[in-house]
Structure 1
Amino acid sequence: MQKGGILNSHIAKVLADLGHTDTICIGDCGLPVPTGVLKIDLALAFGTPSFEQVVRLLKEHMQAESIHVAEPIKTENPRNYAVLQELYPEDRYAWRLTSHEEFKEATKHCKCIIRTGETTPYANVILQADCIFNEEK
């Protein structure tokens, strides 16, 4: 039995299987999940778990090189945008900002979408995996 880390077996498996440039998405409870993309549903109730809780945990356990968000998060959800800026500073990670429609299109290529209980707008991010033997970020 695993002693710590990510206890959700589905998330642990996805992370173990990621290769360089593979992507995963962490999304709010309203983000549509495209057909054929694995949904890992963590939502228990509105707000639980929060986007921030899940993003912070994934930051600890996934080596990422870039992030993709929908442009409206900057103005429509400044709190969660600030969390992403704190965890993935633009001077160390490549940032891609697109329209929300382009973001949803990009989710079709993700290995999974981790659904949170988040109910604030545009609380979604796509993380692109880096090589684990690259310099630690």
Structure 2
Amino acid sequence: MAKRRILNERLAAIVASIRHGEMLFIADSGSGTCSKALYPLDPSVEYLDVEVVTGSPTFEDVVRTLAEAGDFEGAIITEDMPDQNPKDYGMLCELFGENKVRQINYAPEYYQLRDRCKAVIQTGDIGIHAQAVLIAGYPSADIDIKVLLGETKFTTIPKKDRK
């Protein structure tokens, strides 16, 4: 099966430039991104609105396309998504494997993570918790969630101390 091509010029450029460990926030239509939102988007994060009409494209459309056209190894979701949006949660588990779909608290941790992303991609999806942070890279050892959240720095064990 041939890979899909991303036709949106800016989205294609974002996906082409993303590197291992960088993240994209795929947002539903209701994700607040203006300066007056409960958790305003950090101005250093690129914002791309791909909404066409209410409900389109869906979260699933965008995530499946990104997973097929780019290199993503996992996702981070709110801990509420499995209960409140089991369809999209199941889709993420299908794409990445259940052990590569990590859950964190919604507010404020999820919004703090959003502000560490390379870009926010706003879909037209109106589903509850139809959003996820996609982690760029190839299937590899898990990246420590504390590193992704900025709570700890990435470190390695010196070769002489490895067993």
Greater C-alpha Rg:
2
Q: CA deviation at 1:90?
A: 2.4
For structure 1, the 5+ residue unaligned runs are: none
**Which residue does the alignment assign to 1:20?**
20
Instruction: Identify the residue that residue 42 of structure 1 maps to in structure 2.
Output: 50
Aligned residue identity for 2:24: I
Give 4+ residue runs of structure 1 displaced > 4 Å after superposition. none
CA distance in 1, matches of 2:95, 2:20: 20
Q: CA RMSD in A?
A: 1.7
- The worse-fitting range, judged by mean Cα deviation, of 110-119 and 57-66 is 57-66
Alignment of 1:54 with 2:86, yes or no, is no
The structure with more strand, counted as a fraction of residues: 1
TM-score by length of 1: 0.86
Q: Of the candidates 89, 104, 108, which is equivalent to residue 115 of structure 2?
A: 108
Distance 2:101 2:88 in 1: 15
For normalisation by structure 2, the TM-score amounts to 0.73
**Which amino acid in structure 1 is aligned with residue 123 of structure 2?**
T
Please report how far the alpha carbon of residue 128 of structure 1 lies from its aligned counterpart in structure 2 after TM superposition.
Answer: 1.0
Query: Are 2:104 and 1:98 equivalent residues in the alignment?
Result: yes
Residue 103 of structure 1, CA deviation? 1.2
Q: Which runs of 5+ in 2 are unaligned?
A: 34-40, 141-163
Is 1:32 matched with 2:41? Answer: no
Q: State the one-letter code of the partner of 1:58.
A: L
1:88 aligned to 2:96? yes
Q: Give aligned-pair identity as a percent.
A: 30
Which of 115, 122, 130 is 2:137 aligned to? 130
Q: Which residue does 2:72 correspond to in 1?
A: 64
What do residues 87-121 of structure 1 show as CA deviations (whole Å, max 9, x unaligned)?
A: 11125xx3320111111110001111110011111
